[in-house]
């Protein structure tokens, strides 16, 4: 039930990080992985990283906020690899700026990448899923789909919208055997978050590191590989009756009020 043999999986923005870990997991479950990134150099680095893992992934340069470019990429994937069975909308950005200092252009850019792009890419793959009578769409949501936090107004607005887009795709296309679900990662230990986990000059933990570990029942940052099992589940026939659900892989943060300060 959890095998993905013969399936074509498109993971957006999967040259590195969370997208790379998920794509690698889908490949190891049998899927043929294709991915995109916004620059050729990132696609090339991604292809080399997949090769190092023994995975024959195919990469495409595409700006997922450009509808014409996305439609062209999807058509090319269908011609060169096959109809996309699994879509993981992973590409995203964040701008940590106090709301009263953020420009409308900056706000729109985050909304464009984190919300409009999943709409555009989903819209591009759904017609072939309808013809095939099956499809899996996985949106990478966030704990900010549920919570607010200072300096991330645009990101939280986008991820909250992505949660509702997920539910609406389920509502609109569930009768055609298309399942759309979300994964909401917690705080993941990636190279991008490494500075937040480094020891301070006095040997103490970074304040944000202490904050996250205190807010997480697991008491630690999560590993990107811990998203693989949930992603394979939502991409496989094991989840055929799961639709419109956001699976939070957060170590328990959303269930927890946090430790009392000492």
Alpha helix locations (H) across 16-145? 17-28, 40-52, 67-80, 104-111, 117-132
- Residue with structure tokens 């549920």? 146
Q: Is 61 exposed, middle or buried (0-12, 13-18, 19+ CB in 10 A)?
A: middle
Whole-angstrom Cα distance, residue 185 to residue 52? 25
Q: Return the half-sphere exposure (C-beta side, CA atoms, 13 A cut-off) of residue 167.
A: 9
Q: Output phi, psi for 184, to 5 deg.
A: -110, 95
Which position among 50, 60, 155, 173 bears the catalytic label? 155
In which residue are the tokens 């017609």 written? 127
Expressed in angstroms, the distance from the first to the final Cα of the chain is 47
Token readout for 253 is: 């943060």
Question: Known catalytic residue: 16?
Answer: no
Report the Cα 158 to chain-centroid distance in Å: 13
Catalytic residue annotation? 155
């Amino acid at each position: 039930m959890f095998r993905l043999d013969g399936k074509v999986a498109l993971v957006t923005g999967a040259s590195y990080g969370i997208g790379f870990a998920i794509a690698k997991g889908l490949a190891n479950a049998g899927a043929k992985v294709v991915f995109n990134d916004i620059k050729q150099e990132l696609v090339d680095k991604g292809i080399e990283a997949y090769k190092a893992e023994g995975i024959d992934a195919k990469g495409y340069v595409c700006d997922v906020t450009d509808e014409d470019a996305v439609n062209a990429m999807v058509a090319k994937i269908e011609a060169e690899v096959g109809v996309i069975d699994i879509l993981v909308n992973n590409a995203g950005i964040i701008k940590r700026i106090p709301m009263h200092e953020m420009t409308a252009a900056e706000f729109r850019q985050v909304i464009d990448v984190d919300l409009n792009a999943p709409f555009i890419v989903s819209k591009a793959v759904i017609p072939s899923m309808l013809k095939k009578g099956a499809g899996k769409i996985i949106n990478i949501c966030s704990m900010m789909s549920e919570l607010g936090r200072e300096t991330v107004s645009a990101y939280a607005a986008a991820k909250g919208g992505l949660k509702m887009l997920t539910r609406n795709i389920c509502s609109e296309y569930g009768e055609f055997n298309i399942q759309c679900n979300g994964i909401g990662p917690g705080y993941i230990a990636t190279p991008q978050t490494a500075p937040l986990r480094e020891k301070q000059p006095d040997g103490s933990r970074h304040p944000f590191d202490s904050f996250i570990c205190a807010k997480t029942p697991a008491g630690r940052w999560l590993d990107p590989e811990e998203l693989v099992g949930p992603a394979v589940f939502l991409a496989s026939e094991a989840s055929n009756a799961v639709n419109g659900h956001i699976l939070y892989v957060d170590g328990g943060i959303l269930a927890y009020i946090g430790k009392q300060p000492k």
